[in-house]
Amino acid sequence: MKDLYLENRVMAADAVELIHLMYEHALVQVRLARTALASEDVAGRSKAVSKVLAILGELEGSLNYEAGGSISHNLARLYQYMRRRVVEANVKQEDGGLAEVESLMQTLNEGWTAMRHATAAPVQWQASTQPSPFPRQSPSEEEESSHSWSA
């Protein structure tokens, strides 16, 4: 079954929001993998691990090394490390690697969220130097018009 809400979010998202969505989805999948591991659900764990690996691959593939410089290179190394840890955790059926990846992904998600909010351009209102197209009322007219309604 399709998740129409998620599909709409993806279709309406800009590049920054898409990365945020991938971090969120990766966190969900890592948590599902951990739950499946604890309950010995091999199929569920394999499905969730496959999704985590695919998301990490997409995140790495989306890096712009020219614009991002050393940050992009460091993120690529981090994504590669997380992929290794997920694979090791899956093969050895140990929670430690998944817990570490969950923690790293949570930190990245929090940093990305903070960066998104910090770089969002605040809307600033400035008074226009142009005269208002609306006629001004005298204080007595304002008083009368503000009480012109009845219950």
The mean pLDDT of 53-64, rounded to a whole number, is 94
- Average pLDDT value for the chain: 81
Tens digit of each residue's pLDDT (9 = 90 or more) over 71-111 = 999 999 999 999 999 999 999 999 999 999 999 999 999 98
> How far apart are alpha carbons 42 and 116 in whole angstroms?
37
* CA gap 35, 41 in Å, rounded: 8
Q: Which two tokens stand for residue 95?
A: 């929670």
Q: Which of 48, 42, 13, 46 is nearest to 30 (CA)?
A: 48
pLDDT of residue 149: 43
Fold of 4-119: Four Helix Bundle (Hemerythrin (Met), subunit A) (1.20.120)
> What is 10-77 written as a DSSP string?
HHH--HHHHHHHHHHHHHHHHHHHHHHHHTT-HHHHHHHHHHHHHHHHHHHHT--HHHHHHHHHHHHH
Domain ranges of the chain: 4-119
- pLDDT higher than 50, residue 127: no
pLDDT at 116 over 90: no
Average pLDDT of the residues in 130-145: 51
